[in-house]
């Protein structure tokens, strides 16, 4: 049986801090007239871990709509992957633009 508190004593309770899951951020690829479709597919497979069919669908969305989402990640991961993709594009002399923005969905 639990002990009953003595009269006049206080019972201390501890509140648990709420842990919020980090929000997700989108890495967005923007279309340009110079970066090849083959390179975009390769980049999506290499940096973003997409399969060939997934990468092709995203590349076609970028080509047709002007932009497409490469992936959803925590902020640090999204920024790191976008920067790695920028470096690889620059190494190949492609002006590929990638942006990172909060996912409000």
Whether 92 maps to a domain, the answer reads: yes
Tens digit of each residue's pLDDT (9 = 90 or more) over 64-102: 999 999 999 999 999 999 999 999 999 999 999 999 999
Whether 52 maps to a domain, the answer reads: yes
What does the pLDDT read at residue 68?
97
60, 99 Cβ separation under 8 angstroms: no
Whether 10 maps to a domain, the answer reads: no
Q: Looking at the whole model, is its pTM more than 0.85?
A: no
Whether 64 maps to a domain, the answer reads: yes
Whether 5 maps to a domain, the answer reads: no
Whether 19 maps to a domain, the answer reads: no
Query: 104 vs 63, which has greater pLDDT?
Result: 63
Tens digit of each residue's pLDDT (9 = 90 or more) over 4-43: 666 666 767 777 777 778 799 999 999 999 999 999 999 9
Into how many domains does the chain fold? 1
67-73/25-30 β-pairing: antiparallel
| Helix residue spans in the chain (DSSP H) | 37-46, 52-65, 75-91
Whether 47 maps to a domain, the answer reads: yes
Whether 15 maps to a domain, the answer reads: no
97 contact partners, CB below 8 Å, separation of at least 6: 29, 30, 32
CATH number where 42 lies: 3.30.1390.10
Give the residue numbers spanning the domain of 49.
37-102
């Amino acid at each position: 049986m639990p002990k009953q508190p003595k009269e006049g004593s206080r019972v201390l309770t501890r509140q648990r801090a709420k842990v919020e899951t980090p929000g997700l951020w989108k890495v967005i690829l923007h279309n340009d007239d110079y970066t090849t479709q083959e390179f975009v597919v390769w980049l999506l497979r290499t940096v973003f871990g997409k399969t060939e069919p997934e990468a092709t669908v995203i590349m076609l969305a970028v080509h047709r709509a002007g932009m497409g989402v490469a992936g959803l990640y925590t902020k640090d991961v999204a920024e790191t992957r976008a920067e790695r993709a920028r470096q690889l594009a620059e190494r190949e002399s492609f002006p590929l633009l990638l942006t990172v923005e909060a996912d409000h969905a």
